Chains A and B, each alone.
Chain A
């Protein structure tokens, strides 16, 4: 097998710090026991399979894909907001040209989805999906409306804090992240097992956006900042 000569150039990525990510088997979140492994995961040394990843989403992105308030003939109901931030790796380096996808409920807390039976109105002017690419500095920006809170069936009187789902690719398949962005001061944090599944309090707070007056546009929309950090390499990869 002497034909393999350049595997030495593979860089490993940082591993997650304990307690900084959710506990997979988190009993308070009732769907976890039957949908997560009970046997220990097998530690995998990083190979090209993990440290490479798709450059995905460069198929055409429409002009209104990052403005969820302009995807229909009329304006959606609710509080218009701007959500912006940067995607960085855990070395603090920007992650440029990576796809950021979001989805969310409408202002009344209802998703455009056949399985969402919450008796709150749908909004004909809101689909709740957006996508954009980060720029060279890792920055992204969406215009949307503030999602409503909604009930779910996890436990008696269960309600989700207002949130926007985020999906980010990053440079490697192992840097892939799907998370939820929350809004500051939500009184439901203490009661939400999804949010509480992350053991470390400082880590939980990294999912909460910050109100930002500089992003806020006068007479138009409040601004929120949400910076996202992805796993990064232990050393700078050589340029190809």
Chain B
């Protein structure tokens, strides 16, 4: 027998019934988690710049030490039990949602590299037949210069992967996910 992955289909406009009505996860790391606390506002925007009000954002990230809470991460570090690593939220009418977390540490990349702190993101919505993967980096982090994944992205598009600090709020960051259009976010073939 041949085992080929089942095709993906759109989550549709009513994904809230199954995924977020009782099971959204706005808090990725508890207040006891070690690391720099971050409040991250994400907006999912369509080709007209309008908020996607039936979007879903899922986030997966390492803890403050750069360790994933998963058996396949065999780094000799203990995962912080206060950092769950996973979050998911539906976009509101403006396509926006807010996560509370910590800034992750650096995790190994291909070869002998270290990746800059980043969150892994999956985006779903009506009209998205196969979910989209992107990453959130932190603008101004010096480690971005050495990140092996950012190095794969044309320089003029790297900015689309940078969360920007909110000058009005310590620890506040904003990240726009532009599904298409002039400043289309970089998405990855994972």
Contact = CB atoms under 8 A, between A and B. Distances in A.
Contacts of B86: 54, 56
Contacts of A41: 187-189
A230 B190 CA distance: 14
B118 interface: yes
A6 B77 CA distance: 12
Given A4-B114, A42-B152, A49-B115, A194 B129 contact: yes
Interface in B107-130: 107-115, 118, 120, 122, 124-130
A contact residues, range: 35 or more
Contact of A20 (B5, B19, B54, B149): B5
B57 interface: no
Interface in A158-174: 165, 167, 171-174
A21 B130 contact: yes
A179 B14 CA distance: 13
B contact residues, range: 35 or more
A175 to B, nearest CB: 8
Contacts of A207: 6-7, 9
Contact of B10 (A129, A194, A230, A240): A194
A66 to B, nearest CB: 13
A46 to B, nearest CB: 7
Contacts of A204: 7
Interface of A: 1-2, 4, 6-7, 9-11, 14, 16-17, 20-24, 26, 29, 31-39, 41-57, 88-92, 101-103, 111-113, 115-116, 127-131, 165, 167, 171-174, 176-180, 194-195, 197-198, 203-204, 206-207, 228-232, 237-240
Query: Which 9 pairs show the lowest CB-CB distances between chains A and B?
Result: A103-B18, A31-B127, A54-B86, A52-B70, A22-B129, A34-B47, A35-B127, A41-B189, A7-B108
Given A92-B3, A178-B9, 7 more contacts: A10-B108, A14-B5, A20-B5, A21-B130, A35-B46, A52-B72, A194-B10
23 contacts: A4-B108, A4-B112, A4-B113, A17-B4, A20-B4, A21-B8, A32-B128, A42-B187, A43-B152, A44-B188, A47-B110, A50-B190, A55-B70, A92-B1, A103-B14, A113-B17, A167-B18, A171-B72, A177-B8, A178-B9, A178-B124, A232-B3, A240-B72
